[in-house]
A and B are shown apart, each in its own frame.
Chain A
Amino acid sequence: MSVPWLDWLPLLGEGTLITIKIALLSIAVALCLSALAGLGSTSPIIIIRIASRTYIELFRACSLLVLLFWVYFALPFVGVELSKLWAGVLAIGLNIGAYGAEIVRSAIFAVPKGQYEASLALNLTPTERTWKIIIPQAVARMIPPMSNLLIELLKSTSLVYFITLSDLTYEAMIIRNNYYSYTPYIFALLLGIYFVLSSSISITMRILERKFTAWR
């Protein structure tokens, strides 16, 4: 029995592109939110700190699938109608961003206090202390946990299947309908493609890590 790989390619290819698109957009949203809320939760201004903490606690606690349903099915009732793609990007970005913010915050706190004190003793401005001394060292600490989180993000993109966005998982299920007896092959291929995608994330992050920690 020969496996009809070639027949699946067009659909899987389209699905892969959609998955990559959701993943990249969600990564952008998640990283922005991580940076904002992570830095925000170290702010000396209490309002900013409270807002950041609220966001982090709220969206970390929230099931991604329920959040996705909220964004896609519930928001239209208050007049906000998003495309499937943007609903997915928003839900994933909000959820992963909350975890990312915790990574950013703890990386900032992990920079030894002496670094702050030395930069103060040299009379750098508060902004310079943060951006020239603390953040560059924190970024180096963020990369490994961030790498895990982004792989987590990639895997969670498959949840958009439930709002019938035709991503990689969705297309695989379609193919499975037509080639039922090949189910194991289809899913093996699906896993393989996710593996390649997540490897490219971890390789990129590894390269970034090397670049940002050359001083170690």
Chain B
Amino acid sequence: MSEPTAETKSVMTLPREEVVSPLTGEPIVQYQGVTKTFGDLEVIKGIDLALYPGEKMALIGPSGSGKTTLGRMLMTLEEPTTGTILIDGEPLWQMKTSSGKLVRANEKHLRRMRQKIGMVFQHFNLFPHLSVLRNVTLAPMSVLGLSKEEAYQRAVEMLTKVGLQDKLGEYPSRLSGGQKQRVAIARALVMQPKVMVFDEVTSALDPELVGEVLEVIKEIAIDSDMAMMLITHEMDFARDIADRVIFGAEGRIVEQGSPEAIFEQPESERLQSFLKRFR
């Protein structure tokens, strides 16, 4: 049996003719026939999708369409029911035994794979009992094994990037929502993942704080060669920074393309009516 390549696969799922900005190189993430069922509810109904190194991919779609679930499966917070997710060509949720058999991944395998993935959550999930600085240095010290000084240096660098270099000693409870989310971004960035999932990182924020967070993400998107999966309801933001936009509904990819194609000439009726709500 010949394995379809990622390209042919994603072409298969493309409703339009052209393949959109196929960045060069092997995909960093590949979803292959991924489904996810919660109880009786099939939330992801067979997704084939590739994300390329450095690509900024926006994921849009109605509430409940499974965007978060897709990101959480990548972050190893949910296990796919069927199908495979590959990171750098290696299965995320399965590992090879010494006899070459594929079995369910153990914690050790997951930890090695997770090294390449980061996530920023809708509700920040900062560690409230740790200072801003400690939030950002904790994982570099215990996971990457950096010394206190190295971790401090990196953390300050990241916190400066998100504009919070003067809040190092503060506890999260003393920060605004926008500041909290920027700390959370710094905390994820400092681990230098190859792929970062941003799951509606502004939807828990007061409207006047949304801008500062989007601004930071935009800067990161421009600066870094990290691949990004941006789950968002901010259409202007998606249009601004995404190389490719995926529109999903009810657990399937309905349409994908360049921001111009998706936002200017939506083909499917679903996407057209979805976009109307944002005008």
Q: Is the CB of A121 within 8 A of B115?
A: no
A137 adjacent to chain B (CB < 8 Å): yes
B22 adjacent to chain A (CB < 8 Å): no
Given A122-B138, A122-B139, A123-B139 in contact, is the A137-B128 Cβ separation under 8 Å? yes
A151 to B188, CA, bound (A): 44
Q: Tell which of B77, B125, B173 touches A216, judged by Cβ atoms closer than 8 Å.
A: B173
A110: min CB distance to chain B, Å: 13
Q: Tell which of B75, B129, B138, B187 touches A137, judged by Cβ atoms closer than 8 Å.
A: B129
Q: Is the CB of B129 within 8 A of A114?
A: no
A133 to B130, CA, bound (A): 9
Given A121-B75, A122-B191, A123-B139 in contact, is the A216-B128 Cβ separation under 8 Å? yes
A124 adjacent to chain B (CB < 8 Å): yes
Q: Is the CB of B114 within 8 A of A114?
A: no
Q: Is the CB of B171 within 8 A of A215?
A: yes
Within 8 A of A (CB), among B96-117: 107, 111, 114-115, 117
Q: Tell which of A112, A118, A124, A140 touches B129, judged by Cβ atoms closer than 8 Å.
A: A140
Q: Which residue of B lies closest to A135 (CB)?
A: B129
Q: Which residue of B lies closest to A140 (CB)?
A: B129
Q: Is the CB of B111 within 8 A of A132?
A: no
A126 adjacent to chain B (CB < 8 Å): yes
A125 adjacent to chain B (CB < 8 Å): yes
The residues of B that contact A137 with a CB separation of less than 8 Å are 127-129
Q: Is the CB of B143 within 8 A of A121?
A: no
B24 adjacent to chain A (CB < 8 Å): no
Q: Is the CB of B188 within 8 A of A124?
A: no
- Please list 26 pairs of residues, one from A and one from B, whose beta carbons are closer than 8 Å in the complex, sorted by A's number: A114-B121, A114-B123, A115-B125, A117-B77, A118-B126, A118-B127, A120-B76, A120-B77, A121-B75, A121-B114, A121-B117, A121-B118, A122-B143, A122-B191, A123-B114, A123-B115, A123-B139, A123-B143, A124-B138, A126-B107, A128-B142, A132-B142, A137-B129, A140-B129, A215-B172, A216-B128
B158 adjacent to chain A (CB < 8 Å): no
The residues of B that contact A145 with a CB separation of less than 8 Å are none
A52 to B267, CA, bound (A): 59
A109 to B153, CA, bound (A): 35
Q: Mark B75-95, 1 if CB is under 8 A from A, else 0.
A: 111000000000000000000
A44: min CB distance to chain B, Å: 11
Q: Is the CB of A124 within 8 A of B143?
A: yes
B119 adjacent to chain A (CB < 8 Å): yes
Q: Which residue of B lies closest to A117 (CB)?
A: B77
A136 adjacent to chain B (CB < 8 Å): yes
Q: Interface range on chain B: under 10, 10 to 19, 20 to 34, or 35 or more?
A: 20 to 34
Within 8 A of B (CB), among A1-47: none
The residues of B that contact A124 with a CB separation of less than 8 Å are 138-139, 142-143
The residues of B that contact A117 with a CB separation of less than 8 Å are 77, 121, 125
- What residues of chain B have their CB less than 8 Å away from a CB belonging to chain A? 75-77, 107, 111, 114-115, 117-119, 121, 123, 125-130, 138-139, 142-143, 171-173, 184, 187-188, 191
A167 to B36, CA, bound (A): 63
Q: Which residue of B lies closest to A216 (CB)?
A: B173
A50: min CB distance to chain B, Å: 23
The residues of A that contact B75 with a CB separation of less than 8 Å are 120-121
B134: min CB distance to chain A, Å: 10
Q: Tell which of B125, B172, B173 touches A114, judged by Cβ atoms closer than 8 Å.
A: B125
Scoring B114, B123, B127 by chain A CB atoms within 10 A of each residue's CB, the highest score goes to B127
A136 to B127, CA, bound (A): 10
The residues of A that contact B76 with a CB separation of less than 8 Å are 120
A126 to B143, CA, bound (A): 12
B183: min CB distance to chain A, Å: 11
Given A115-B127, A121-B114, A215-B128, 20 additional A-B pairs, CB 8 A: A117-B77, A117-B121, A118-B126, A121-B117, A121-B118, A121-B121, A124-B138, A124-B142, A125-B142, A126-B107, A132-B142, A137-B127, A137-B128, A137-B129, A140-B129, A214-B171, A215-B129, A215-B171, A216-B171, A216-B173
A123 to B107, CA, bound (A): 10
A118 to B127, CA, bound (A): 8
Q: Tell which of B111, B117, B121, B142 touches A118, judged by Cβ atoms closer than 8 Å.
A: B121
B188: min CB distance to chain A, Å: 7
A214 to B118, CA, bound (A): 29
The residues of A that contact B172 with a CB separation of less than 8 Å are 215
A55 to B130, CA, bound (A): 34
B109: min CB distance to chain A, Å: 12
Q: Tell which of A112, A114, A132, A140 touches B138, judged by Cβ atoms closer than 8 Å.
A: A132
